[in-house]
Amino acid sequence: MTEIRTLTVLGTGVLGSQIAYQAAFHGFAVTAYDIDDQALEKARSRFAHLAGIYQAQQVAGAEGGKAEAALQNLHLTADLGDAVADADLVIEAVPELLELKRDLFRRLSDLAPAKTIFATNSSTLLPSDLKDSTGRPDRFLAIHYANNIWVQNIAEVMGTSETDPTVFDAVVEFAGNSGLEPIEIKKEKAGYVLNSLLVPLLNAAASLLLQGVASPETIDKTWRIATGAPSGPFQIYDVVGLTTAYNIAASSTDVGSLAFAKYLKDNYIDKGKLGISTGEGFYTY
Ligand SMILES: NC(=O)c1ccc[n+]([C@@H]2O[C@H](COP(=O)([O-])OP(=O)(O)OC[C@H]3O[C@@H](n4cnc5c(N)ncnc54)[C@H](O)[C@@H]3O)[C@@H](O)[C@H]2O)c1
């Protein structure tokens, strides 16, 4: 079976930095690529910040200086050819723009060795949307992480009908070896498993609020007490961030979603209440 030892992550933003650091923490040799020196400077501080979080939150294994030592496993570069020259696996975590991702995979198909597996971490695109630009659809699939990877530690692995099953298995094994719970998805599905469950819950909560059926506090309390879940949907909105919630709702054609977008804008976004990140959203922190 293909064994994954070296990882390259493209894009070192919110998710890319977490994917790279998590693998480095678990002993993988990781190369992190971003577009220029300024982006790499930001990446350095993101990695240092993550080391602090792993240490402070006592992520399993973080004792004895391991969180700091993980930084030694991270090599940063703004040269794409250099970044992928010896990669067993490349995961892209660049902005959610179809043509940008396609263009990146086209360039990679020339630069990466034949052994390299390509993966996307896209939340909303299907791997089928990208596979033809990779030049190697049999060695291409999605591995989708959740934000705050060290706590919400799942990796949803989803191939296309053309993904080689041995490649799928290798990526599942890699996910397990990098401290994540692999979620094997047998068939392509927009939203994977997590968002296929979560989005309808969040939409239903928004609808109850807009119809005046119950307050956010009551809706959340109902969900928490009756299901044993630690958070209700409006607490989840605050974690995701109300700007993201707004962008998703505003880009929909559904009347209810558009009404929720307006509600979020008027009552929260325009007042600078963006969720936990600003100290106030549906709740005050
Ligand atoms: N943020 C989340 O909660 C989350 C969760 C799961 C998956 N994702 C997915 O991860 C991907 C990235 O999202 P994010 O929130 O980390 O974005 P982000 O904007 O925080 O980071 C994007 C990074 O990509 C870099 N970049 C831009 N153009 C590039 C290029 N051509 N080549 C290489 N790097 C480039 C940027 O400099 C930046 O560092 C998206 O596909 C998104 O759907 C995000």
174, 162, 159, 104: which is closest to 134 by C-alpha? Answer: 104
Distance 123 CA to ligand 1 centre (A): 10
Neighbouring residues of 275: CB distance < 8 A, sequence distance ≥ 6: 237, 238, 239, 240, 241, 242, 243, 281, 282
What is the structure's pLDDT at 240?
A: 87
Mean pLDDT of 139-151: 95
Q: Give the model's confidence band at 1: pLDDT under 50 very low, under 70 low, under 90 confident, else very high.
A: low
Whether pLDDT at 62 is above 90: no
Q: Which of 263, 255, 271, 258 is nearest to 234 (CA)?
A: 263
Q: Model-level pTM?
A: 0.92
Question: Which ligand 1 atom is at minimum distance from the Cα of 42?
Answer: 39
Is the domain 6-185 a CATH 3.40.50.720 member?
yes
What pLDDT, on the 0 to 100 scale, is given for residue 65?
86
Q: Which CATH superfamily is domain 194-278 in?
A: N-(1-d-carboxylethyl)-l-norvaline Dehydrogenase; domain 2 (1.10.1040.10)
**What is the CA(216)–ligand 1 centre distance, in A?**
30
Q: Return the percentage of the chain with pLDDT > 90, whole number.
A: 92
Show me where the domains of the chain are located.
6-185, 194-278
* 220-233 pLDDT tens trace: 999 999 999 999 99
Task: For 194-225, write each residue's pLDDT tens digit.
Answer: 999 999 999 999 999 999 999 999 999 999 99
